[in-house]
Amino acid sequence: MVQNYQKVTLSKKQIIINNFIGGISWAIGATIGAAIIVTIITFILKEINVIPFIGNFTSQITNYVQTHPKPH
């Protein structure tokens, strides 16, 4: 069985910095991607007139919560 190993030539500091920058880049990309997807979904829902339904539903939940206090 032949095993291939690659010698790590970077210092620990370089590895940490590279991983940190990679993590930040991944987080920014995920945030931008999520924002684009939410924007597209919102636009589609607005075009098929579902947004008023969501607003009415949220309003009913808010009214219910305000009129029915939490028991202690």
Q: What is the pLDDT of residue 70?
A: 73
Instruction: Give the burial string for 17-41 (b: 16+ CB within 10 Å, else e).
Output: eeeeeeeeeeeeeeeeeeeeeeeee
Q: What is the pLDDT of residue 68?
A: 81
Q: What is the pLDDT of residue 16?
A: 93
Q: Are 45 and 54 in contact (CB under 8 A)?
A: yes
Q: What is the pLDDT of residue 66?
A: 84
The pair of three-digit structure tokens given for residue 54, joined into one six-digit string = 């969501």
Which residue type, as a one-letter code, is found at position 27? A
- pTM of the predicted model as reported, rounded to 2 decimal places: 0.54
Q: Where are the domains of the chain?
A: 12-67
Mean pLDDT, consecutive 10-residue segments, the chain of 72 residues? 71 92 97 95 77 76 83 68
